Structure 1
Amino acid sequence: MLQYNTKQEPLRMPEYGRHIQQMVDHCLTIDDRDERNLYARGIIDTICRLNPQQRTSPEWRAKLWDHLAIMSNFQLDIDYPEGCSITPEELNLRPEPMALPPRGMMRRVYGNNIDQMIDAAIAMAPDDPDREEFIILLANHMKKLMMTENPENATDARIFKDLAEMSGGHLRLSTQTTKLREFEILEAPVSKKKKRKR
């Protein structure tokens, strides 16, 4: 009679398949520690043969030993190589939540990096020769970002107005003295393949 996988115990690591899981389950039943260690190394070698492109990576081999522990539900008592000892607590650790920026973005189209660049430009000394060049570079980048989202509003006057608002009036450029680069939106090339008749 056929045995369906839906009626079997779920795999702990499905990417390795049911045969590897059965090898791990068999390894748990071996009483002799030396024989169990040898069998566990055989399981790792089998997985390496299944994925030959990553066979030489030492980090990947260390990860396999951790995966072996996970597949055995941390019940496998063998001599793990040094640095390969994952615990159930480490497996269930969640990363710390990322902190949101302290202030909301005034113009979402520009993103948080532009806010940081504006802060850096404000922090530069007014007599710094690179400051004016940096502000123009910043405005050009803002125009490029605006072109991707809203090309109709990507005028120099709009960019200068947004820059002044976002910097609290510290960074001002004029359309009479400064001309930003012109950007054009490139469309994806049309495929020249002909459709086959059926």
Structure 2
Amino acid sequence: MDKNYNFERKKLMLPEYGRHIHQMVDYLSTIHDRDLRNRQARAVIDVMGNLNPTLRDTADFKHKLWDHLFIMSDFKLDVDSPYPIPSAKILYPKPDKMEYPRHRIGRKHYGKHIERMLAVLKDAAESAERTQTACNIARYMRAKSFEYNQEYPNNEVILKDLRAMSDNRIDIDENTLNNIKNDYKQNHTNNRARKNFSAGGHSNGKSNNHQNKQGGKRRMGKQTYK
């Protein structure tokens, strides 16, 4: 007895339609009379629609059936379709080739974003904000260097790299970096103190109001008792 296993048969393009529908589509390609082939193709479309009666009310139901017909024929069926005939390129589009970045990073441990920020900052006019931003970048460079080398470099190395990466147009000294760092810490401390003070005052206000309400209730209770 001959055994006919599915893995030995032709691969189904759309398994949800079954092998019999695929055999019908294959038979269409063998019909030489074009008029007969068109009539038989419409008959196959009707059979395919009967397999999914719940989808008949959808707007593009017929369009999908015709597309599936051409897919099952591997886009080789020559019939007159009421819709645009799809192609393999449209169904399986080839993605556009992505260009690999060719820009070489001078100092990889800082990353490309540092280079981009310095490229913008070096053209900015001299101001306190520019100095503040440069110091923030310097501290970020120090953190990135630690991630890469597992050790913190001294400020002299960071500031030297900062000047080199900005074409010597951003030049800050160590005193400026330390002063701005200390000002940042002091402002951060003051902000926390103000928040804590505001939270404490608000809490005390609630506590006093609660105590006043409790005292008023006790006084009212005593008067009622008398």
Place the TM-score, normalised by the shorter chain, in its bin.
0.5 to 0.7
Name 2:146's counterpart in structure 1.
147
What is the distance in 2 between the residues matched to 1:140 and 1:66?
A: 60
Question: 3-state SS of the aligned residue for 1:176?
Answer: helix
Root mean square deviation, CA, Å: 4.6
Q: Call closer, same or farther: CA 1:33–1:100 in 2, change over 3 Å.
A: same
Q: Which has the higher contact order (CA 8 A, sep 6+)?
A: 1
More deviation in 22-31 or 107-116? 22-31
1:43-92 deviations in whole A, cap 9, x for unaligned? 8x7xxxxxxxxxxxxxxxxxxx9899666533467666x9x955427846
Q: Does 2:89 align with 1:88? A: yes
What is the distance in 1 between the residues matched to 2:112 and 2:22?
A: 50
Q: Call closer, same or farther: CA 1:104–1:147 in 2, change over 3 Å.
A: same
What is the distance in 2 between the residues matched to 1:42 and 1:136?
A: 72
Q: Does 2:175 align with 1:173? A: no
Indicate conservation of the 8 Å contact 1:143/1:154, yes or no: yes
The correspondence of residues 26-175 of structure 1 with structure 2, limited to 5 A, is 26=23, 28=25, 32-37=40-45, 73-75=74-76, 85=86, 87-88=88-89, 91=92, 93-98=94-99, 100-101=101-102, 103-127=103-127, 129-175=128-174
What is the distance in 2 between the residues matched to 1:85 and 1:164?
A: 59
Name 2:191's counterpart in structure 1.
none
1:27-53 deviations in whole A, cap 9, x for unaligned? 73576444544666788x7xxxxxxxx
What is the distance in 2 between the residues matched to 1:112 and 1:21?
A: 54
Name 1:25's counterpart in structure 2.
22
Q: Call closer, same or farther: CA 1:25–1:105 in 2, change over 3 Å.
A: same
Indicate conservation of the 8 Å contact 1:37/1:79, yes or no: no
1:84-109 deviations in whole A, cap 9, x for unaligned? 955427846452441534x5211112
Name 1:3's counterpart in structure 2.
5
Unaligned runs of at least 5 residues, structure 2 = 29-36, 53-65, 185-226
Report the Cα offset of residue 142 of structure 1: 2.2
Name 1:187's counterpart in structure 2.
none
Normalized per residue, the structure richer in helix is: 2
TM-score by length of 1: 0.52
Q: Call closer, same or farther: CA 1:151–1:25 in 2, change over 3 Å.
A: same
- Give the total of aligned pairs: 158
Unaligned runs of at least 5 residues, structure 1 = 46-64, 182-198
Indicate conservation of the 8 Å contact 1:27/1:40, yes or no: no
TM-score by length of 2: 0.47
Name 1:52's counterpart in structure 2.
none
Indicate conservation of the 8 Å contact 2:163/2:169, yes or no: yes
